[in-house]
Amino acid sequence: MAGLLRWLRGPQAGWPQDLGAGLALTAVIVPAGVAYAVASGLPAICGLYATLAALLAYAAVGPSRVLVLGPDSALAALLLGVVLPLSGGDPQRAMLLAAAVAVVAGALCVAAGLARLGFVVELLSTPIRCGYLNGIALSLLLSQLAALLALPATPSIWAALRQAAPTAWPLAGALLGLASLAARLLLKRFQPWPTMLVVLVAATTVTALIGDAGHAGIPLLGTLPPGLPRPGWPGLHGSDVLPVLGTGLAVAVVAFADTSVLSRTYAARSGQVVDPNRELVALGVANLAAGLWQGMPVSASASRTPVAQAAGARTQRTGVVAAAVVALLLWLAPGLLAHLPLPALAAVVVASALTLIDAATLRRIRRVQPGEFWLAMACSAGVVVLGPLQGIVLAVLAALLAVLWAAWRPHSAVLGQVPGLAGFHDCARHPEAHTLPGLVLFRWDAPLFFANAEWFQAHALAAVAAAPGPVQRLVITAEPVTSIDITAADMLQALDAQLQAQGITLALAALKGPVKDRLRRHGLLDGWGDERLPRTVDEAVALHRLGAHAAGG
């Protein structure tokens, strides 16, 4: 509770701004919570329960002054993948499943934060995160097309179209959904103001003017259950445990990735430093609270936090005010949203899904590194074809493989002198470069370990074989080698013996202290003089020239 007390006791001059920002924030979090709950296959009330719990929990322990947590579009597709097949159309069972996922995600985040594992999110590189979110956006868009067109809920949009074909097409509902989508997209320029609320109020007004919405083919949200949620532990069937655990892990990774990026962004703007491990714990506590209050998983959102900041939010008192307004809505006016048309809610979700698609980043990735572009596309395809849960597993595996590949097959170069340029440069990039007779300068741009040891040896020997004349000395310019393991040290020992048999001396230039210490403990450097361990590349070249001059003299 220390965090909550800190915000409540904050600068008294900021109370009016936080109060106004909290009221403005309510205009976004209520429709967003309802929309993302429905998009996740859950009763609408589930989103409001989660919003209420997350706001209060994060205000109590969250490190960011203005970050706003709640249901999010990036999590909707993940939840839909477990709720839809396991709930069997039972709304109460769907709520239990969502709450259980939130509890699992929260527990994992708290445990990871306490273990100081906040760095794990760095495994999701920009291409992989971009590809994953693009896939989530496409999955979410496809899942909402039927609701957008006021078609019956079916496993796919094509099934919904076939089912609606023999009967009258719900034209009024479809037009309302498409018009709401167009309005939401057109009003994007007025962000961060609550344009979502404007669209939903307008759609509700149109529905009221039509009269009999059901006869016109416009499904409505209906009255929400009155009162506040009762905290409780979500029970599960035995067959639900593995899917819920897997989805909870996926939710934890995605939620922390989004929350971490937003938290750092807003902290930098205000000159605040945020500990990622503390942020991870706060996110976990918010998800635990949401799950125990019959809610759904929560994350930070790029749509809610800017509203709070633009409205003048200074502390987490803004979230407390917004939570109080949501509680009053549930307690005093649960029927306020009864006439909200579901096609308009779907339009809000589809518009949010479209904003997740980051074509600009994809173009930049393709321009800078085409290989990573195809990695991003593979992640997107994995999410759409295999599903969000399998997609995030694929994304993490792809990230690990990308890291391993970069370390397994790093760049290496033979160095030479370029006329007019100081130092020594990659001969492959400078065809005009020339090497010194009898000397091969071989640079290895990575740590040396078991996975790339043989690759190093093969390339070093190939550099010697490609030399234009007899070689007396192979110098490894080892400054980029930041670490070495015993397998690589054994390889260097074997390489040294192989070169000595050919009359070639192996030297390690600019070797870092910790790497040199490890090689001494290994025994490789036993009997090596300073001439084989030059401190710089220039010193290695000077020693070679001195030796060549002595031999020639």
**Share of residues in the chain with pLDDT > 90 (%):** 46
pLDDT at position 539? 93
pLDDT at position 5? 52
pLDDT at position 387? 79
Calculate mean pLDDT across residues 343-364.
89
The set of residues, in sequence order, having a beta carbon less than 8 Å from that of 4 and lying 6+ positions away, is 56, 59, 60, 61, 316, 320
pLDDT at position 90? 92
Nearest to 371 by CA among 146, 203, 125: 125
pLDDT at position 6? 53
Higher pLDDT pick, 166 / 475: 475
Q: Is the pLDDT of residue 466 over 80?
A: yes
Domain range summary for the chain, segments of one domain joined by +: 13-224+239-403, 412-552
Calculate mean pLDDT across residues 168-190.
85
pLDDT at position 478? 92
Query: Which residue type occupies 232?
Result: G
376: tokens are 């991003």
Calculate mean pLDDT across residues 190-195.
70
421: phi then psi, degrees, rounded to nearest 5:
-120, 135
Ranges 189-193, 322-326, 397-401: which has the least confidence: 189-193
Find out whether the peptide bond into 297 is cis, omega within 30 degrees of 0: no
In the structure, what pLDDT confidence band is assigned to residue 551 with cuts at 50, 70 and 90? Answer: low
Q: What is the C-alpha R_g of the chain?
A: 30
Calculate mean pLDDT across residues 406-433.
91
**Share of residues in the chain with pLDDT > 70 (%):** 90
pLDDT in tens, 281-295: 999 999 999 999 999
CATH architecture type of domain 412-552: 2-Layer Sandwich (3.30)
Decide: 196 and 184 in contact? Cβ < 8 Å.
yes
Q: Is the pLDDT of residue 107 over 80?
A: yes
- The separation between the first and the last C-alpha atoms of the chain, rounded to the nearest angstrom, is 82
Nearest to 263 by CA among 249, 248, 277, 247: 277
pLDDT at position 294? 94
pLDDT in tens, 526-546: 989 889 999 999 999 999 888
Decide: 181 and 148 in contact? Cβ < 8 Å.
yes
Ranges 305-309, 438-442, 502-506: which has the least confidence: 305-309
Q: Is the pLDDT of residue 159 over 60?
A: no
Q: Is the pLDDT of residue 389 over 80?
A: no
Q: Is the pLDDT of residue 49 over 90?
A: yes
Ranges 79-88, 291-300, 356-365, 540-549: which has the least confidence: 540-549
pLDDT at position 123? 67
Average pLDDT, the chain: 86
In the structure, what pLDDT confidence band is assigned to residue 548 with cuts at 50, 70 and 90? Answer: low
Helix/strand number for the chain, H first, E second: 21, 7
